[in-house]
């Protein structure tokens, strides 16, 4: 009888400890899910500010380092996605009447069945570009519908009469300066 009682107490203890472990695991993952984006963003901001300060204090370091370590620029571009921005627009045209945010360069243009898709990239603040398009498209009389949104990407559908355009804004990189990509697509 004693053995059965001890066995039942042992099983109950294992179940309680197992439940406690599951609760701790779930609470920990919830804590990480909530706080990890802020930690990453804070780290990116610190690195970005550090690079900016070093560049101000030691101008020309980038060129000197490039001479000392050949291929440094190529390696940095591999590490920092989206860092390459062309100097001028590729061939094509903008979608009218959608305005272009200042300092964005057209990086791609395509048409499919008479519908255009145009992408832009530039060293611009994601939030600044997002607010610009919300304000400008409303001023042009377009109705806005949020399709999806996250900390680094947002997709809107704008409708005016029979014209429907999709605007997709995406934060590409924040080191050493914030780079944003915009894709406008006629639907």
Kindly state whether residues 66 and 94 are assigned to the same domain: no
| CATH number where 111 lies | 3.30.160
Element (H, E) at 112: strand 105-112
Residue 104 domain-assigned?
yes
- At residue 42, φ and ψ (nearest 5 deg) are -65, -40
Give kind and range of the element (H or E) at residue 109.
strand 105-112
H/E run at residue 6: helix 2-57
User: Do 36 and 116 have their domain in common?
Assistant: no
Q: What is the pLDDT of residue 159?
A: 94
Residue 120: CB atoms within 10 A of its CB come to: 23
pLDDT per position as a tens digit, 21-30: 787 667 666 6
Domain that holds residue 72: 19-77
Answer yes or no: do 37 and 102 share one domain.
no
CA–CA separation, 133 and 167 (whole Å): 9
CB-based burial of residue 125 (10 Å sphere; 0-12 exposed, 13-18 middle, 19+ buried)?
A: middle
Residue 133: inside a domain, yes or no? yes
pTM, 2 dp: 0.56
Give per-10-residue mean pLDDT for the chain (187 aa): 75 77 70 63 60 56 54 50 72 91 91 92 90 93 93 93 93 78 92
Examine residue 24 and state whether it is found in any structural domain, yes or no: yes
What does the alpha-carbon distance between residue 169 and residue 151 come to, in Å, rounded to a whole number? Answer: 11
Q: What is the pLDDT of residues 101-129, one digit of tens each?
A: 988 999 999 999 989 999 999 988 899 99
Q: Determine the Cα–Cα distance for residues 164 and 158; give it in Å rounded to an integer.
A: 6
- Rounded to a whole number of angstroms, the CA Rg of the chain reads 26
């Amino acid at each position: 009888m004693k053995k059965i009682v001890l066995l039942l107490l042992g099983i109950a203890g294992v179940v309680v400890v197992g439940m406690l472990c599951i609760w701790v695991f779930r609470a920990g993952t919830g804590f990480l899910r909530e706080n990890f984006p802020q930690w990453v963003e804070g780290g990116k901001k610190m690195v970005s500010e550090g690079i900016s300060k070093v560049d101000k204090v030691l101008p020309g370091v980038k060129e000197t380092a490039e001479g000392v370590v050949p291929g440094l620029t190529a390696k940095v571009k591999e590490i920092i996605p989206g860092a390459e921005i062309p100097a001028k627009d590729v061939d094509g045209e903008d979608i009218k009447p959608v305005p272009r945010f200042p300092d964005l360069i057209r990086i791609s243009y395509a048409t499919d069945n008479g519908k255009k898709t145009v992408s832009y990239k530039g060293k611009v603040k994601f939030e600044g570009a997002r607010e610009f398009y919300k304000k400008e498209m409303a001023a042009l009389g377009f109705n806005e519908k949020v399709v999806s949104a996250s900390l680094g990407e947002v997709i809107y559908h704008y409708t005016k009469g029979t014209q429907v355009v999709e605007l997709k804004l995406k934060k590409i990189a924040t080191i050493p300066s914030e780079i944003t990509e915009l894709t406008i697509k006629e639907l």
